[in-house]
């Protein structure tokens, strides 16, 4: 319609009408671009809010699982302390010693909930997130993995290797089956069973206990193992503090200098 009118006005040499047609086209294009940009801006805002909500939910789930891991490592630490007492006792109960010595070697981990973050990165939408959160820990949280660091600290322990070389595999299997982990409704470990039912003989337990008691390097390795547990728990506590801070900033809270200083320690 506009093209036909424009052609007619050119043929008629009606230059005022030509100018008017051209002006209408330019205004139409300009308005169309503005509407398109406005619509895209609204869509970007909507997607940004959706990302914030989903990321916050993911990180709250990570706080829950990190809390479970802390509870688990508290139980591991309690078993380590009890093992020290039993190793120093003149006549420790064989089952109690073997079970606690073994439990003190345990570790657990949980993967970071990162489906939303991976979607943000793969789609190039990081600019849609609050930049204060991006600059104050969001990227570093998904780059590092406190739960995995905690696992590695425990996995590489010389005490763990020594105990698991000393206690026979049959006894270890019986402990895992009859005296193992307690899990929550989501399958995450939270501690150990309070009652133990071990399908091994008293003689086998006594032999394993005597092997532990006769190893002069066991107690020094256990002392060092406390450092591994302290590092593991420190990583998890730091993870939780970092997550709480990121959620605070992500949801619109101002970055706190005091909180950032505490996280950097």
pLDDT tens sequence for the chain (265 residues): 555 664 655 465 556 555 665 666 666 666 666 655 555 556 778 888 999 999 999 999 999 999 999 999 999 999 999 999 999 999 999 999 999 999 999 988 888 899 999 999 999 999 999 989 988 889 988 887 767 777 777 888 899 999 999 999 999 999 999 999 999 888 888 899 999 999 999 999 999 999 999 999 999 999 999 998 998 888 889 889 999 999 999 988 777 654 555 455 4
What pLDDT is stored for residue 36 in this prediction?
Answer: 59
What pLDDT is stored for residue 262 in this prediction?
Answer: 47
C-alpha 76/C-alpha 192 separation (Å) is: 9
What pLDDT is stored for residue 221 in this prediction?
Answer: 96
Q: 217: helix, coil or strand?
A: coil
What pLDDT is stored for residue 43 in this prediction?
Answer: 72
Helix axes 146-155, 15-87, angle to 10 degrees: 30
How many domains is the chain built from?
1
Say if pTM beats, i.e. exceeds, 0.85. Answer: no
- Determine, yes or no, domain membership for 120: yes
- Determine, yes or no, domain membership for 37: no
- Determine, yes or no, domain membership for 185: yes
* Owning domain of residue 247: 56-263
Residues 6+ positions from 8 with CB-CB distance below 8 Å: none
- Determine, yes or no, domain membership for 141: yes
- Determine, yes or no, domain membership for 234: yes
What pLDDT is stored for residue 149 in this prediction?
Answer: 73
What pLDDT is stored for residue 150 in this prediction?
Answer: 73
- Determine, yes or no, domain membership for 204: yes
- Determine, yes or no, domain membership for 109: yes
- Determine, yes or no, domain membership for 209: yes
CA angle 112, 247, 118 (to 5 degrees): 40
C-alpha 228/C-alpha 240 separation (Å) is: 19
């Amino acid at each position: 319609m506009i093209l036909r009118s424009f052609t007619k006005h050119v043929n008629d040499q009606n230059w005022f009408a030509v100018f008017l047609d051209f002006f209408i086209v330019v205004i139409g294009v300009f308005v169309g671009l503005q509407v398109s940009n406005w619509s895209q801006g609204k869509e970007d805002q909507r997607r940004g809010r959706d990302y914030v909500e989903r990321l916050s939910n993911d990180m709250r789930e990570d706080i829950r699982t990190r809390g479970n891991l802390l509870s688990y490592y508290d139980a591991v630490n309690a078993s380590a302390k009890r093992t020290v007492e039993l190793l120093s006792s003149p006549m420790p109960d064989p089952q109690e010693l073997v079970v606690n010595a073994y439990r003190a070697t345990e570790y657990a981990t949980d993967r970071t909930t990162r489906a939303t973050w991976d979607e943000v990165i793969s789609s190039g939408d990081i600019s849609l997130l609050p930049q204060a959160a991006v600059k104050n820990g969001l990227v570093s949280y998904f780059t590092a993995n406190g739960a995995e660091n905690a696992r590695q600290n425990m996995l590489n322990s010389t005490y763990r290797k020594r105990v698991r070389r000393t206690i026979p595999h049959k006894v270890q299997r019986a402990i895992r089956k009859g005296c193992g982990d307690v899990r929550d409704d989501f399958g995450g470990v939270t501690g150990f069973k309070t009652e133990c039912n071990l399908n091994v003989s008293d003689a086998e337990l006594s032999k394993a206990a005597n092997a532990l008691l006769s190893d002069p390097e066991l107690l020094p390795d256990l002392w060092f193992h406390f450092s591994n547990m302290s590092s593991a728990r420190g990583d998890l506590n730091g993870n939780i503090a970092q997550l709480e801070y990121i959620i605070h900033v992500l949801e619109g809270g101002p970055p706190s200098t005091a909180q950032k200083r505490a996280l950097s320690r």
